[in-house]
Each structure stands twice: as C-alpha cells, then as structure tokens.
Amino acid sequence: MSLISNITAATLAKDIRLEWRSKDAINSMLFFGLLVVVVFSFAFDPIAEESRRIAGGLVWVAFLFAAVVALNQTWAREVRNQVLDAYRVSPAPANSLFLAKALGNFLFVIVMEVLMTPLFIVFYKLRALGPAWMLAPIAVLGTWALVVNGTFFAAMSLRTRAREIMLPLLLFPISLPAILAMVRATTAILTADEPAKFWIVLLIAYDVVFTTACLLLFETVLQAE
C-alpha cells in the first residue's frame, strides 16, 4: 500500500511538474472554456430566471468539452519516447499510475473550473437561490466522474489511430448518467425548485462504481499491446 502511494505521489508530482513547465493542458482547457462562455453568451441573452434554468447545462457542457481537450493529452507524454514502456517493465503497480493520472487530471480540471466559474457568473448574471455551498461538492463529484472515466478511456484509445475522436465517442455515452446528475443537481441549487440530494447521491454512487471498475480493469489496458 505504501509502495502504491509512493509511486502515485511520485507520478503525480512528475505530471504536475511537466504541466507547470509546458502548461499544455491548462492553456488549451482555458482557451476552449473561454470560447464556449463567450460564444454561448452571444448566442443566448437570457434574463436572470432563464440563466438559472440553463446555466447548469451550459456550465457542465463547457467543462466537459474543455476537460476532453486535457484528457486527450494525458497520455501523450507517456507515448512520446515510449516512456510508458519504462513503466510497464518496472514492478510498479498499474493502479498507481492510473490513480496518479486521474488525480492529476482532476487537479487540472478543477483549476480550470475555478478560473472559469467567475466568468460564467458575470456573463450569465448568476445568483443561486438554493444553498450555494452545495455547488462545491457537486463540482468535486462531477469532475471526478468525468476524469476517472476520461483517464481510463484515454488510455484505452491510446493505441488507436483516431484517439482524439475515440475518446469522446467512448466517454460521452458512459458519462450520461453523471452528466445528467451534475446538470440536474446544479440547476436544483440555482433555482431552488427541487432538492439536489438525489442527484448528489447518484453522483457518489456513479463515482464509486466507475472508480472501482477502472482500477480493476486498468492493468489489462496498460499491458495491452
């Protein structure tokens, strides 16, 4: 267990260091997110009440698409110079690598969300009628749902020719229950029309099921040729 956490920590630190130097994922996510916010704000000119109804969907669609941009780059560094082979020949457990990658992606996407959220609030004049603090756990659970599957499917599509297309094709359908839960929970908080509890519980269940499944299957994906 200690070996797993050591390797996970070392891999996560390495990924953060590489991202800090290149800023590939963060820059592309921010640029994409910014585009979506601006384009949507021109496309719709909602009143405050309409904003509250549609913002949940808009925010999560923007975050989802922006996250896919970063997820596609997750394994790119490992493929360059075939560094992944160095990991595969080592005795390091596959799960350590997966956890580090998922945690790294989670961190990068959360940073993007933190930077983009004020823009959404300003552009869409958002003010939550329900308990606004509950948006934080929804963001955490929803982001984890996206990155855990995204990291897994990005690894799966690593050896395919059209991996940029393959990732959304695999990720979006399987993420539908999570996306639905995120959007409905966010809208519930913004409008205070219904309790968000059911959707949050659904998100927790989704995260537990898919994190477990990904951890169980990742060894097979990593060792596949």
Cα angle at 25 between 77 and 18, to 5 degrees?
Answer: 50
- Judged by beta carbon, residue 16 or residue 119, the one nearer another protein is 16
CB of 33: closest distance to another protein in angstroms?
24
CB of 93: closest distance to another protein in angstroms?
10
- The verdict on 87 binding another protein (CB under 8 A) reads yes
- The verdict on 161 binding another protein (CB under 8 A) reads no
* Candidate list 1, 43, 47, 89; residue touching another protein; CB under 8 A: 89
- The verdict on 14 binding another protein (CB under 8 A) reads yes
- The verdict on 4 binding another protein (CB under 8 A) reads no
The DSSP code sequence of the chain is -HHHHHHHHHHHHHHHHHHHHH-HHHHHHHHHHHHHHHHHHHH----HHHHHHHHHHHHHHHHHHHHHHHHHHHTHHHHGGGHHHHHHHSS--HHHHHHHHHHHHHHHHHHHHHHHHHHHHHHTT---SS-GGGHHHHHHHHHHHHHHHHHHHHHHGGGSTTHHHHHHHHHHHHHHHHHHHHHHHHHHHHH-SS-SHHHHHHHHHHHHHHHHHHHHHHHHHHH--
The DSSP code sequence of 116-168 is HHHHHHHHTT---SS-GGGHHHHHHHHHHHHHHHHHHHHHHGGGSTTHHHHHH
For another protein, the binding residues in 183-212 under the rule CB under 8 A are none
CB of 169: closest distance to another protein in angstroms?
24
Q: Which listed range, 39-47, 73-81, 125-133, 208-216, lies at the site for another protein (CB under 8 A)? A: 73-81
- The verdict on 18 binding another protein (CB under 8 A) reads yes
- The verdict on 225 binding another protein (CB under 8 A) reads yes
The binding track of 116-155 with respect to another protein, each residue x by CB under 8 A or -, is: ----------------------------------------
CB of 44: closest distance to another protein in angstroms?
41
- The verdict on 1 binding another protein (CB under 8 A) reads no
CB of 211: closest distance to another protein in angstroms?
23
* Candidate list 81, 118, 173, 176; residue touching another protein; CB under 8 A: 81
What would you measure as the largest C-alpha separation in the chain, in angstroms? 58
Residues in touch with another protein (CB under 8 A): 3, 6-7, 10-11, 14, 17-18, 21-22, 77, 80-83, 85-92, 223, 225
